[in-house]
Amino acid sequence: MTLQDLGWNDAFAAAFAPFEKSGWLPARLIRDNKITYGALLHDGEQLEVVMSGKVYHDAETDADLPAVGDWVALDVGSENVIRARLPRQTCLSRKLPGKSTEEQVIAANVDVVVIVTDAGADLNLRRMERFFGIIGRSGAKPVVLVNKSDLFPAAQNEAAAESIRALHPDADVHVTCAEKGRSLQVLKRYLKRGISVTLLGSSGVGKSSIINRLFGDDYQWTDEVNEATGKGRHTTTARELMILPGGGILIDNPGVREVHMWTDEATLRAQFTDLEDLAAQCKYHDCKHRSDTGCAIRAAMSAGTLNAERFAAFQKLDEEIEKLRRNRKKRQMTIERRSKRDQRTEARHTDDRWDPEHDETPHNHRRR
């Protein structure tokens, strides 16, 4: 393995040059354990690393902290310490609603984002627009797979692909069937040596099937951590960045898997901006729009300017969003449990040898 296999290029090399004389090594972050990170070195060696107090304190926002996909300057020793994060070439992130300045990084230095959908129930052009928005902001190239082509007539698959192309002329849109491996040959075009790829899309559209195909039969996919046993379905180490056998780098982490959820929430809300505007005019801000006095929504329904069916759909929206939130919370709790477990293991391993009086560098505190 070489640095190039991991995505290294001339621009990263130039950014790294000032650190070379310190004897630090370039490494790519492949896993985020909240307290520690997994890092991959040029020779394929994996290390558990921590960021220096300086990297932590110099970060003005969470988005400045190292993330999966980042290249860092690593001080390899008894503690493997991240001394610096190299500037990102792309950055897939979520802007938290309401707090426009807060940004949550999902993955750094992703070159190609593959959106997976199908020509049936999953196809939602509003959501697709949002995916394109996120990808556009990241700087990565968008590719769309209209998957499960075996389930729909060819004309329907083509119509779906056309409607997506119409949204974004620069996106490559392909019709695929993950069940038939050959149909995924088209991905070879993007999965070149050193190119980092990630897959977005609702659950059930075929992302894992596609990934399994790309890795071949002997690849063991780590799914959600099992709630009962705390173990992954197949393997115990969940790597979030992996080198594909034929070249190319796959990034897949919990953040990536959540993109469809918050995209869906935003998409759902966007369909009802008129009702949200009305609700804002209710006398009480926590108006339930039932018997409350001064309810602008009930007034609009009596006046005949608002259709009751549409209002019912709006109420259902809150339930749906609540459901999305519950799923997200469950996922978050699983991640936190896992990181607590890692933290305990970490404490057992480092408590007796890490003395803050004498070494202020490793940053072992839970990140913000």
Our CB check for Zn ion shows the closer of 230 and 294 to be: 294
Question: What residues are paired with 114 via a beta bridge?
Answer: 143, 199
Query: Residue 72: enclosing H or E segment and its boundaries?
Result: strand 71-75
The number of C-alpha atoms within 13 Å of 194 and in the hemisphere containing its C-beta is: 10
For ligand GDP, the binding residue among 18, 204, 216, 245 (CB under 6 A) is 204
Per CB under 6 A, does 179 bind ligand GDP? yes
Per CB under 6 A, does 260 bind ligand GDP? no
Give the rounded distance of the alpha carbon of 135 from its chain centre. 11
Residues 6 or more apart whose Cβ sits within 8 Å of residue 65: 51, 55, 56, 59, 85, 105, 367, 368
178 binds, options Zn ion, ligand GDP, none, Cβ within 5 to 8 A by partner type: ligand GDP
Which 131-160 positions form the footprint of ligand GDP (CB under 6 A)?
147-148, 150-151
Buried b (16+ CB within 10 A) or exposed e, 86-117: bebbbbbbbeeeeeeeebebbbbbbbbbbbbb
The bridge status of strand 196-200 relative to strand 249-251 is parallel
Our CB check for ligand GDP shows the closer of 72 and 173 to be: 173
Cβ–Cβ < 8 Å for 284, 292: yes
Per CB under 5 A, does 278 bind Zn ion? no
147 binds, options ligand GDP, Zn ion, none, Cβ within 5 to 8 A by partner type: ligand GDP
Per CB under 6 A, does 334 bind ligand GDP? no
Which 285-304 positions form the footprint of Zn ion (CB under 5 A)?
287, 289, 295, 297
How many of the chain's residues bind Zn ion (CB under 5 A)?
5
For ligand GDP, the binding residue among 30, 35, 178, 241 (CB under 6 A) is 178
Q: Cα(245)–Cα(243) distance, rounded to whole angstroms? A: 6
For ligand GDP, the binding residue among 208, 222, 343, 350 (CB under 6 A) is 208
The four Cα atoms 14, 16, 22, 26 give a dihedral, to 10 degrees, of: -140
Our CB check for ligand GDP shows the closer of 178 and 296 to be: 178
287 binds, options ligand GDP, Zn ion, none, Cβ within 5 to 8 A by partner type: Zn ion
Give min distance, CB of 205 to ligand GDP, in A: 4
Binding region for ligand GDP (CB under 6 A) = 147-148, 150-151, 177-179, 201, 203-209
